[in-house]
Amino acid sequence: MPEPAGSSLASRDRGLVWHPYAPLDGPEPYAVEGAEGARLTLTAPDGERFEAVDAMASWWCAVHGYRHPALDDAARAQLERFSHVMFGGLTHAPAVELAERLTAIAPGPMAHVFYADSGSVSVEVALKLALQYQAARSRPRRQRFLTVRGGYHGDTFAAMSVCDPVDGMHAAFPGVLASQVFAPRPPSARLVVGESGEEHWETDELAVEEWAGQVRALARAHTDELAAIVVEPVLQGAGGMRVHHPDCLRLLRQVADEHGLLLVVDEIATGFGRTGRLFASEWADVRPDVLCVGKALTGGYLSLAAVLTTSLVGEAITRSQFRALLHGPTFMANPLACAVAGASLTLVEAGWKDDVPRIGRLLTTHLAPATHLPRVVDVRVLGAVGVVQLDEPVDVPAVTLAALRRGVWVRPFRDLVYTMPPYVTSDADVRLVADALVGAVGEVHP
Ligand SMILES: *Cc1c(COP(=O)(O)O)cnc(C)c1O
């Protein structure tokens, strides 16, 4: 149907629908007309149409691209059985099968699964669980969390409280967020992958030692108040796309053990192969007590997250005053989402070991020219994630448009232009993504 002039989707959207961290009178969004494989078909506010490789995989989620036949089939098959039922007193095959598979592949011996409806809620549940765990062990005053600066764990209140205290939302809600214990950001590290695939980590070892000392001192000073350590393993996502050495995660595991804290590992962004290990915790051989997954869990089809715990944590909760984990969302274990997640997991298991290093190699080669751009201070790749960091804030609308003109959808933030394309992205399309990032940055930030 032809649209009357002045009533494009973008103009109807503007002022009516809020977008993430965007003002109601912000720039008009691009309209998605379709999506297939790694590509989006977009219409700009002025009516210009673009075919673009989705360099963002819809914020880490769409690892198998769009309209994947196996995921479509899983959704359709479950739709023909039932779409949703309450989880109180009821169960269903998609939830049980997915829990069996998640506990089997998770790092460490995971025994229990709590389904949540988004990553933030799963973090909320993990933090709540840590307090209940400590109360069950007769340490009810342990109600704070130790974390590192530069983190991002979601947008709900408890999750916000463990996000970076400067770049997060602490300033917007003064006096409302719980006060947590922040260690410095772990020193940056770089994974170097050689010609034949051999890997080694590079970091400033002295800086890591110094950081470890600071973490230990903080844990000692606050030991009686701390319930858990919360951290994104090896790669911090929305807090700055920074990489740290696996030794930092090992140190946090040690500190947690020494002080009777739970180690809560947030793999909502890093899980399911993205960093070059099925879970980023595996880079350090660390076994978390609590593991949050989300984002790519359903291949980007539906909102679903999960909190996995060890049997030790499960037993403590069962022995606690309330016996249950005190949470229970309406859409807990949504059958459609669990069914699609099962199908997504099958695809991940079949493909990530080839696709992630393949994409990583191509990004390493084809993002390298960005290092010669005057405003670029760092280019880094880990797994199927590539980051170009500037010495100034990115002109987001201009870089977005410059990349679209080169056939790529990218959504920069702060001083970062970055990509984590779907695992199904072809070699030619990964090159297109890298070239578009380099080209757009060079054009807009000369
Ligand atoms: C995205 C993200 C979250 C929040 O997940 P939502 O589904 O957006 O609520 C939490 N932690 C990390 C590491 C994330 O990347």
DSSP of 182-207:
EEPPPPBEEEEE-TTS-EEEEE-HHH
Q: How far apart are CA 128 and CA 290, in angstroms?
A: 12
Q: Which of 120, 124, 157, 303 to mutate to test the pocket of ligand 1 (most atoms within 8 A of CB)?
A: 120
Contact 131, 316 (CB under 8 A): no
- Decide if 21 is catalytic: yes
Alpha-helix runs per DSSP H in 4-140: 9-13, 57-60, 69-81, 93-105, 119-136
Pocket flag, ligand 1, residue 240 (CB < 6 Å)? no
H or E stretch covering 262 = strand 262-266
Pocket flag, ligand 1, residue 267 (CB < 6 Å)? no
Return all residues near 173 (Cβ < 8 A) that are at least 6 apart: 157, 160
Return all residues near 101 (Cβ < 8 A) that are at least 6 apart: 342, 345
Q: Is 179 helix (H, G, I), strand (E, B) or coil?
A: coil
CA-based nearest residue to 334, from 36, 81, 58, 68: 81
Contact 156, 238 (CB under 8 A): no
Q: pLDDT (tens digit, 9 = 90+) per residue, 213-231?
A: 999 999 999 999 999 999 9
pLDDT computed for residue 37 by the predictor: 98
- Decide if 295 is catalytic: yes
User: Mean pLDDT for the chain?
Assistant: 96
Counting Cβ atoms within 10 Å, is residue 358 exposed (0-12), middle (13-18) or buried (19+)? middle
Counted residue by residue, the chain has a size of 446
Instruction: Retrieve residue 83's tokens.
Output: 């779409």
Residue type, 259: H
- Decide if 128 is catalytic: no
Pocket flag, ligand 1, residue 239 (CB < 6 Å)? no
Phi, psi of 41 (to 5 degrees): -110, 120
Q: pLDDT (tens digit, 9 = 90+) per residue, 49-82?
A: 999 999 999 999 999 999 999 999 999 999 999 9
Is 152 a known ligand-binding residue? yes
CA-based nearest residue to 97, from 340, 281, 282, 266: 340
Return all residues near 118 (Cβ < 8 A) that are at least 6 apart: 154, 294, 303, 305
Q: What is the DSSP letter of 297?
A: G
Residue type, 30: Y
CA-based nearest residue to 74, from 341, 389, 416: 341
Which one is catalytic: 66, 295, 301, 418? Answer: 295
Pocket flag, ligand 1, residue 288 (CB < 6 Å)? no
The pLDDT tens digits along the chain (446 residues) read: 444 555 799 999 999 999 999 999 999 999 999 999 999 999 999 999 999 999 999 999 999 999 999 999 999 999 999 999 999 999 999 999 999 999 999 998 999 999 999 999 999 999 999 999 999 999 999 999 999 999 999 999 999 999 999 988 888 888 899 999 999 999 999 999 988 889 999 999 999 999 999 999 999 999 999 999 999 999 999 999 999 999 999 999 999 999 999 999 999 999 999 999 999 999 999 999 999 999 999 999 999 999 999 999 999 999 988 999 999 999 999 999 999 999 999 999 999 999 999 999 999 999 999 999 999 999 999 999 999 999 999 999 999 999 999 999 999 999 999 999 999 999 999 999 999 999 999 999 99
pTM of the model: 0.97
| Spacing, Cα 380 to ligand 1 middle (Å) | 21
Q: Is 146 helix (H, G, I), strand (E, B) or coil?
A: strand
Pocket flag, ligand 1, residue 120 (CB < 6 Å)? yes
Q: Cα–Cα distances in Å, from 428 out to 5, 80, 370?
A: 38, 38, 18
| Spacing, Cα 270 to ligand 1 middle (Å) | 10
